[in-house]
Structure 1
Amino acid sequence: MSGERKPRVGDLIHDEDAGRHGVVTDVRGGAVWVLRPESGPGQWTSHRPERLAVVTPREGMLDRL
């Protein structure tokens, strides 16, 4: 993520550690990113925002519906 902004709630990201895409649903204390799959149930967390790459910012997510 060098030079890029940290992911924010609503962004579609690629989590390099988990090897999958997800949507940011919460950022707890600025240190824990809560993610859910792009579709379907479940969630996971990431403590390493530098390993989260924004695929589509939240502003562009409406185009994906």
Structure 2
Amino acid sequence: MKEGKAWVGDEVFDKDAEQLAIVHDVRQGVFVLRPVNGWHTWTNPQQDRLTVTTPREDRVNS
């Protein structure tokens, strides 16, 4: 998380896609997401539609 909001490496719930995802990248303020188990990607430009379920730090240390 960066300043309490979703950032690269965080596991999030995308409210628009209605699924869990990993923040893969952020490009010019647009979040690039991928499924927890898979490699296709989609984007979501609205950070407020992403809820962090597991911060990157917790995912790396588990």
What TM-score, normalized by structure 1, do the two folds share? 0.84
Residue of 16, 36, 39 corresponding to 1:41? 39
In structure 1, what is the Cα distance between the partners aligned to 2:22 and 2:8? Answer: 8
Deviations for 1:19-45, whole angstroms, at most 9, x for unmatched residues? 00000011112x200000001231110
Any runs of at least 4 consecutive aligned residues in structure 1 with deviations exceeding 3 A, and if so which? none
Count of paired positions: 59
In the other structure, the counterpart of 1:51 is 49
Is residue 21 of structure 2 the alignment partner of residue 22 of structure 1? Answer: yes
- Alignment gaps of 5+ in structure 2: none
TM-score (norm 2): 0.87
Unaligned segments of structure 1, at least 5 residues: none
Percent identical pairs in the alignment equals: 46
Alignment RMSD, CA only? 1.2
